[in-house]
């Protein structure tokens, strides 16, 4: 079958694979054949692989002030070419004015959003498709009368065994008048796109998740949180999406006991976990970067470099393109620091201070409702 005149089908496919999602969505309206081709799960897989190798971006969440002084969340995409950015037309009606909106992770073009209290939403910003997850399978009350349940951690990532995305939730139960600062116990549940439902896991949570800015990270098949163990040591708590088990990863031995004046942030840099230590306050800040050269091994933590001191920089947001770090300025402006040239560059992106969150992101046609071959693991050859 000739697709466009005498244009070979392989060449036509290569052209389509290079188109952005927005253009492909319009192409689906041309004719039934194009619609079937672009909707084919194998094409969706090939398009995702092409973008993984060629079109990696940064998804940025920030708050903007309206003319009435109200805060509204905005999602923007920062592209590698000249740090250009576009605002995404995504329906955030559920969380539009939510000051605590969190980006929980990214998986094959799908992102997970929540405010830790209400609904959890899966969203593909490129196709503008969204889905609210069903209610928790865990009861909203405790069998012990004086315990109060609270969502303490959420994570989102890819299970390479089943080829499906999963959401993990830790619910902690707190005593009403306890002065220990640690929960009485915790329960864990997992939502899978394969089943479309939640299930409770019979596992013990070996550490207690605490907040630390820009720390929650998916890497190596596992989601990672900042946590405190029962001995009140700082640790990294990870949950593996495949075997659905927790692991405690120690912090670098060079770090002293927890110092509230210092922040810890976690990123993926050059295919490894990177820990950034920096002051919580101050006009000038220095940023120490540690890299875990062997995953899970405390002795492999290595201090790579120290950035700064830098003025009017609050916190790191994302490692990008191997030698760039996006950072939040103290005035609500996003800046980029080049590790090679040590130059700090202001970007034309602003927002309410301390409202920023980022994800390294890839545009895709993958549906939030599943049914994609890229998620189902079917490696059947592409059928024209």
Banded pLDDT at 321 (limits 50, 70, 90): confident
Q: What is the mean pLDDT of residues 217-232?
A: 90
Smallest CA-to-CA distance from 165 within 128, 136, 124 is with 124
Tokens of 190: 């997992």
What one-character DSSP code corresponds to residue 4?
A: B
Q: Which range is most confident: 55-59, 86-90, 149-153, 306-310?
A: 306-310
- Report the C-alpha gap between 263 and 89 in whole angstroms: 33
Residue 51 has pLDDT above 70, yes or no: yes
Where is average pLDDT lowest: 72-81, 179-188, 227-236, 334-343?
179-188
Check: CB of residue 287 under 8 Å from CB of residue 277. Answer: yes
**pLDDT tens for residues 98-125?**
667 788 888 889 999 887 766 888 999 8
Smallest CA-to-CA distance from 257 within 274, 233, 229 is with 233
Tokens of 184: 């009485």
Q: What is the mean pLDDT of the chain?
A: 84
**pLDDT tens for residues 132-182?**
898 887 766 666 667 778 888 999 999 988 888 899 999 888 777 665 567
pLDDT at 374: 46
Is beta strand 234-240 parallel, antiparallel or unpaired with respect to 262-269? unpaired
pLDDT at 173: 84
pLDDT at 77: 85
Check: CB of residue 104 under 8 Å from CB of residue 169. Answer: no
The pTM assigned to this predicted structure is 0.87
**pLDDT tens for residues 186-202?**
899 999 988 888 999 99
**pLDDT tens for residues 261-313?**
889 999 999 889 999 999 988 889 999 999 999 998 999 999 999 998 999 89
To which H or E segment does residue 124 belong?
strand 121-124
pLDDT at 207: 92
What one-character DSSP code corresponds to residue 95?
A: T
SS3 for 46?
Answer: helix
- Report the C-alpha gap between 22 and 302 in whole angstroms: 42
Q: Domain extents for the chain?
A: 40-135+142-362
Q: What is the mean pLDDT of residues 353-365?
A: 88
- Report the C-alpha gap between 335 and 57 in whole angstroms: 16
Express as a percent the part of the chain with pLDDT over 90.
29
Smallest CA-to-CA distance from 356 within 216, 224, 213 is with 213
pLDDT at 56: 84
Residue 245 has pLDDT above 90, yes or no: yes
Q: φ, ψ for residue 78 (rounded to 5)?
A: -100, 120
Tokens of 1: 């079958």
CATH among 2.120.10.80, 1.10.150.120, 3.40.50.1970, 3.40.50.300 for 40-135+142-362: 2.120.10.80
């Amino acid at each position: 079958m000739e697709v466009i005149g005498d244009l070979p089908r392989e060449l036509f496919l290569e052209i389509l694979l290079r188109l952005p999602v927005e253009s492909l969505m319009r192409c689906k309206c041309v004719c039934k054949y194009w619609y079937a081709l672009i909707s084919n799960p194998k094409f969706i897989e090939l398009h995702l692989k092409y973008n993984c190798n060629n079109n990696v971006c940064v998804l940025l969440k920030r708050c903007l002030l309206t003319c009435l002084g109200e805060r509204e969340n905005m999602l923007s995409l920062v592209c590698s070419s000249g740090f250009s950015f576009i605002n995404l037309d995504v329906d955030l009606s559920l969380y539009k004015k939510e000051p605590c909106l969190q980006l929980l992770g990214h998986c094959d073009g799908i992102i997970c959003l929540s405010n830790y209290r209400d609904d959890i939403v899966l969203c593909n910003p490129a196709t503008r498709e969204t889905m609210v997850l069903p209610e928790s399978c865990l009861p909203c009350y405790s069998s012990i009368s004086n315990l109060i349940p609270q969502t303490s951690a959420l994570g989102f990532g890819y299970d390479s065994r089943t080829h499906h995305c999963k959401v993990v939730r830790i619910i902690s139960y707190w005593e009403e008048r306890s002065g220990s600062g640690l929960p009485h116990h915790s329960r864990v549940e997992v939502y899978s796109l394969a089943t479309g439902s939640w299930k409770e896991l019979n596992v013990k949570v070996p550490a207690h998740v605490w907040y630390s800015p820009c720390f929650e990270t998916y890497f190596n098949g596992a989601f990672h949180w900042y946590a405190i163990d029962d001995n009140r040591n700082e640790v990294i708590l990870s949950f593996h999406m495949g075997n659905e088990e927790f692991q405690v990863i120690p912090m670098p031995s060079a770090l002293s006991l927890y110092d509230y004046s210092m922040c810890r942030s976690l990123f993926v840099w050059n295919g490894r976990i990177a820990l950034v230590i920096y002051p919580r306050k101050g006009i000038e800040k220095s940023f120490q970067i540690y890299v875990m050269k062997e995953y899970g091994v405390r002795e492999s933590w290595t201090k790579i470099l120290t950035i700064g001191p830098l003025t009017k920089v609050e916190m790191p947001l994302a490692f990008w393109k191997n030698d760039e770090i996006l950072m939040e300025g103290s005035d609500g402006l996003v800046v980029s620091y080049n590790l090679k040239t040590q130059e700090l560059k202001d970007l034309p992106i602003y927002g309410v201070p301390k409202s920023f969150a980022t994800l390294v992101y890839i545009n895709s046609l993958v549906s939030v409702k599943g049914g994609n071959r890229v998620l189902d693991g079917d490696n059947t050859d592409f059928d024209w």
